[in-house]
Structure 1
């Protein structure tokens, strides 16, 4: 007889142990609202929250992987550009 609860999946994005008790991060809430993630809260000690990609979210994996690969490839160039920009522009609040 199958055990109750969701079937094991390899599409979990991440799990958070001891999640913040005040509100949810805006990004995860928006992705859940958009139908890209599902959120599962486990009543455990410490508490744990798991975010899993939905079928719609899975359609973004190739694009997200390509963006991550691009960022890794161009990390030094982007960092050099930031330093060059910072050297030639007045000090401002930077992200």
Structure 2
């Protein structure tokens, strides 16, 4: 089922209240939305192809997340490796550092 159909079904549920809300979606204006996300300190935006199916548990090239370089999560997204090592203490025990 394409995104547009799934979204229409979600909107029909009228989920607006304490602890739950259906955020708005936009068909155009990704550049302006991204700029607004940056201005408000949000993580970024997700662009979805309107005909894209929902594939639970899988990544898809039809959904593209653009993370704001001004948001702390940008560093987490770009991190590809972790540096770690072992030290030998004077007591003879080994210790890990990350």
TM-score relative to the length of structure 2: 0.22
- TM norm structure 1: 0.23
Bigger share in helix: 1
Which structure has the greater CA radius of gyration?
Answer: 2
